[in-house]
Amino acid sequence: MTTGFTPPGAAPGPGSPTEAHLLLVEDDEVIRNTVWMSLERYGFTVSTAGDGLTGLEIFRERQPDLLLLDVMLPELDGIGLCRRVREFSLAPILMMSARGDSLDVVSGLEAGADDYVVKPCESAVLVARIRSLLRRASFTPMARAPHAEARGGAPEPDGAAGPDTLVFGELTIDTLGMEVRRAGEPLALTPTELRMLLEFAGSPGVVLERRTLLSRVWDHAWQGDTRVVDLHVQRLRAKIGAERIETVRGFGYKLRR
Amino acid sequence: MTLRWRIVALVAAATCAAAAAVGVLVHHASRDRELSQARDGARTTLERAALGYARTGGVQGSGAVLDAPGLPGGLRRLVAKGHQGTEFATGPDGPAMWAARPADGQVLSVRIDMSTAMRNISALDTNIILAGLMTTAVVLPLGVLTAERMSRRLRLAAATARRIAAGDLDARISPAARPHDEIAEISGAVDSMAAALQERLLDEQRFTADVAHELRTPLMGLVTAAELLPPGEAAGYVRDRVRVLSTLVEELLEISRLDAGAEEADLSPCPLGPVLDEAIAGTGLSARLRTGTAEGTGQPDSAEDTGQRDATDRTRQRDSADDTGPWHSTDGPKVWTDPRRLTRIVANLVVNAHRHGREPVEVTVAADGRTVTVRDHGTGYPDDLLEKGPQRFRTGVRERGRGHGLGLTIAVGQAQVIGATLEFGNAPDGGAVATLRLPEGPERPELSDLPELPDPGPIHG
């Protein structure tokens, strides 16, 4: 059922837009067409849909690398579309909100969106966010790469906890195979969730400030919206167990060893 | 005097007055009765004695005497005129009722001793006073209790109203049923006022969000469409105007969100240096970022002055090579704030300084690590602004520059959201000075994990 978090197609490098396939779901015709044209200029392949149900259909059919959607959509709204897509896909979802109020943003992130932008935004901003999300989807931890090469890159035999496997209670993270298991059961994490979990696993027991996570995982500047972090921590907790990530009030979160 | 003590004093006064009135009435009634009894007795005895005297010429055994030595003067004079009468008088032998009449040139009189009756009356007075005191002792605590309860309920209502005024619209006096009295009425009124305010606020927030949606959707089309125009002079104009329009719409939406109270600060410990760096960088304008040193001064102005004179070694351009000092790293001194809003405030102040003032624009952090001043070297803020604060769309004198006059309004609004104060003033040697005072962090234990605030001594960058 799950598509996993394999890098988008055979993308030549992380974040490269070449051949990255985006699905844009937007009901406003002018925005749909102009954003589509802009994104194609940046080298993306873009499919478009004018309402939520058509969007869902096209998503199932073409399996795009990233979903870009408006919150207010006819037929099936952006929040509903997000939720439906998350039932079978881990592809990154970027939400565009014109209201920009907490209701839109929070419910979108709860429904499974990875990030959001507030309209109106220039194409450059939109493209930067899209690239950041695609990079995450094709993410391989750089720190681990030399180590893997030294060992000839041989994959670990199934089930064995090798040096590339981190264990936290019933949670095991295979940093080489990018696989996360909870009590032996493989977990389906979105690239953003996985990236965040790796940040936590990199320094267990250490408090990570929300803004640190925001800049490391989302590439957002200091002024970014930390609700994105909070809602992703909530989603991650739901998957790996609520007690695994501790809230340090006012500061951030830490992974319990 | 509080309402409670006023009620208590009133209860005490009422009880005492009632006791005193009863006492006086009873005292007079008893005295009158005793006197009239004695008078009747004296008169009867005198008449009987007079008859006996007329028959026998003697008064022995009748209880009356002739020419009694203690007879009061008034009665004696009355008898001398040929009348008869009675008089109550207190003589050397104590209080007594006298009756007298003339008898053959002599005065025939009867004296009835009243010292026992008078003693009884004073005993009665004492008892009445005691009873009054006891009644007061019983009633007063009851009054205190009632007053206390009323006062508590009124104070609760006042405290709740203050909380509502301070922005806590969820505050309610009590949902519990209360005795149906005037205080319950005012409590209900305050509660329904809060509910109405909350409803209106939510309406306004909804409206703001809807307006935002309706304005931003066509604007988004306009922004992306303008980007697609082939380069040229006309396209440049369009893009420039679209950018101005976008900024104006965003600023108006921001103000209406601030007005609607829809903004909530996202507070966290933030390194001040990088936030200010980013704020200045975001404007694309030049501003010097300095950190002042403490010379034992608490005054922001003098702190700024001494800071500028004595800490010139700390002065540097934003982009200069020594920008790697500890103060500028994310491990530097931290403030408890919402960096998004702080950036917005400082950026607006810097933009305003460039637009209406003259370079150099300086952003200074005082030695306390929480006071940020933005100053320019122009003609200073107009008097109108210093007096009334920033007003929307008022850019002061027309020739001062461009802008919508929303930047400072937003800065003030955002400062309120993060709990900071923003004051506008002019430097004595010319130039506008905006002073932003950030609030202290929350409870100490949480802050203890943080690095120390900037050392008052020179910082080596």
CB contact under 8 A, A250 and B442: yes
pLDDT-based confidence at residue B29 (cuts at 50, 70, 90):
very high
Q: pLDDT at residue A5 above 90?
A: no
What's the confidence (pLDDT) of residue B340?
85
Q: What is the pLDDT of residue B177?
A: 56
Question: Among A37, A120, A222, whose Cβ lies nearest the Cβ of B223?
Answer: A120
Contacts of B269 in chain A (CB under 8 A): 209, 250-251
What is the pLDDT at residue A145? Answer: 38
A28 interaction partners in chain B (CB closer than 8 Å): 217, 220-221
Report whether pLDDT(A32) > 60.
yes
Q: Rounded distance, CA A220 to CA A226, Å?
A: 10
Tens of pLDDT, residues B284-331: 888 888 776 443 333 334 334 433 433 333 344 444 334 445 555 556
- The fraction of chain B above a pLDDT of 70, given in percent, is 83
pLDDT of the residue at B398: 53
pLDDT at position A23 over 90: yes
For chains A and B, CB pairs below 8 A equal 97
Are the beta carbons of B218 and A30 separated by less than 8 Å?
yes
Q: How far is A97 from chain B (nearest CA, A)?
A: 8
Q: Band the pLDDT of A160: cuts 50, 70, 90.
A: very low
- Residue B70 vs residue B228, higher pLDDT: B228
In three-state secondary structure terms, B426 is strand
Nearest-CA distance A121 → chain B (Å): 7
Task: Give pLDDT, residue B442.
Answer: 66
Report CB contact under 8 Å: A98, B220.
yes
| A108-123 pLDDT, tens digit each | 888 889 999 888 888 8
Most confident of A44-48, A245-249, B295-299: A44-48
B339 at A interface, C-beta within 8 A: yes
Beta-ladder partners of B108: B66, B101
Is the model's pLDDT at B149 over the cut of 80?
A: yes
What integer pLDDT is reported at residue A143 of this predicted model?
42
What are the residue ranges of helices labelled H in B229-369? 233-259, 272-283, 300-310, 339-356
- Closest CA–CA distance from residue B330 to any residue of chain A (Å): 10
Predicted confidence (pLDDT) at residue A187 exceeds the cutoff of 90: no
Residue A22 pLDDT level (bands cut at 50, 70, 90): very high
Q: How far apart are CA B308 and CA B313, in angstroms?
A: 9
Percentage of residues in chain A having pLDDT higher than 90: 23
Nearest Cβ partner of B224 from A35, A103, A118?
A35
Q: How far is it, in rounded angstroms, from Cα B194 to Cα A177?
A: 57
Peptide bond into A14 cis (omega under 30): no
Identify the residue with better confidence: A153 or B93.
B93
Distance CA A175, CA B9 (A): 80
**Predicted pLDDT of residue B179:** 67
pLDDT at A13: 43
Of A28, A121, A221, the CB nearest to B278: A221
| A-proximal residues of B, 201-220, CB under 8 Å | 205, 208-210, 212-213, 216-220
How many C-beta atoms lie closer than 10 Å to residue B214's C-beta?
12
Selected from 1.10.357, 2.60.40, 1.10.287, 2.40.480, the CATH number assigned to the domain covering B182-259 reads: 1.10.287
Token readout for B423 is 């004051």
What per-residue confidence (pLDDT) applies to B275?
84
Cα–Cα distance for residue pair B268/B372, rounded to 1 Å? 18
| A49 Cα to chain B: minimum distance (Å) | 16
The CA distance from B150 to A117, in Å, is 54
User: What residues does B372 pair with on adjacent strands?
Assistant: B365, B436
Architecture of domain B268-447: 2-Layer Sandwich (3.30)
Q: What is the 3-state secondary structure (H, E, C) of B376-415?
A: CCCCCCCHHHHHHCCCCCCCCCHHHCCCCCCHHHHHHHHH
The residue among B299 and A50 whose pLDDT is bigger is A50
Taking the CA of residue B443 and the nearest CA in chain A, the distance in Å comes to: 11
- Among the partner-chain residues A28, A38, A100, the one whose CB lies closest to the CB of B227 is A38
**Per-residue pLDDT averaged across A118-143, rounded?**
80
How confident is the model over B421-437, as a mean pLDDT? 88
Chain A residues touching residue B222 (CB < 8 angstroms): 120
Chain centroid to CA A101 = 21
- Please give the torsion angle defined by the CA atoms of residues B80, B81, B87 and B92, in that order, rounded to the nearest 10 degrees: -20
Q: Judging by DSSP bridges, how do beta strands B334-337 and B362-365 pair with one another?
A: unpaired
Task: Give per-residue pLDDT as tens, B194-206.
Answer: 889 888 888 887 8
Task: Assess contact for A93 and A69: CB atoms under 8 A.
Answer: yes
Which of B227, B266, B344 has its CB closest to that of A123?
B227
Model confidence pLDDT, tens digit, residues B397-424 = 554 445 667 888 899 999 988 888 898 9
Give pLDDT tens digits for B355-397.
888 888 888 888 888 889 998 888 888 888 888 888 777 665 5
Chain B contact probe: residue of A69, A99, A210, A226 with most B CBs at under 10 A: A99
**What domains are there in chain A, each with its CATH number?**
21-137 (3.40.50.2300), 162-255 (1.10.10.10)
According to DSSP H, which parts of B166-232 are helical? 182-228
Q: What is the pLDDT of chain A when averaged over all its residues?
A: 79
CB contact under 8 A, A211 and B268: yes
pLDDT over 70 percentage in chain A: 81
State the pLDDT at residue B225. 92
Shortest CA distance from A120: residue in chain B? B220
Cβ contact, residue pair A211, B449, below 8 Å? no
Weakest mean pLDDT among A170-184, B137-151, B383-397: B383-397
Q: Length of chain B, please?
A: 461
Which of B207, B214, B224 has the highest number of chain A CBs within 10 A, making it the mutation to test binding with A?
B224
d(CA A214, CA B88): 106
Q: Which residues of B touch A118 (CB under 8 A)?
A: 216
Q: What is the pLDDT of residues B242-261, one digit of tens each?
A: 988 988 888 888 888 888 77
Task: Report domain extents, chain B.
Answer: 3-136, 182-259, 268-447
Amino acid at B68: A
Between A91-95, A195-199, B451-455, the lowest mean confidence (pLDDT) is in B451-455
How many residues are there in chain A?
A: 257
> Mean pLDDT throughout B212-222?
89
At A68 the pLDDT is: 94
Q: What is the DSSP letter of A36?
A: H
Question: What is the rounded average pLDDT of the residues B25-35?
Answer: 92
Of A244 and B347, more confident: B347
Contact: A226, B266; criterion CB under 8 Å: yes
Residue A246: predicted pLDDT: 84
Closest Cα partner for A55 from A17, A90, A84, A21?
A84
Whether the pLDDT of residue B218 is over 70: the answer is yes
* pLDDT value at residue A85: 92
B7 contacts chain A (CB < 8 A): no
Q: What residues in A contact B209, CB-CB < 8 Å?
A: 99-101, 103-104
Q: Where are the beta strands (DSSP E) in A83-150?
A: 93-97, 115-118
A98 and chain B: CB distance < 8 Å anywhere?
yes
pLDDT score, position B180: 76
Q: What is the pLDDT of residue A211?
A: 82
DSSP A144: G
Put simply, whether A122 touches B (Cβ < 8 Å) is yes
Contact: B269, A99; criterion CB under 8 Å: no
CA B317 to chain A, closest CA, distance in angstroms equals: 21
Contact A24, A47 (CB under 8 A): yes
Residue in B349, B377, B374, B354 with CA at minimum distance from that of residue B364:
B374
Residues of B in contact with A38 (CB under 8 A): 224, 227-228
Interchain contact, A98 vs B212, CB within 8 Å: yes
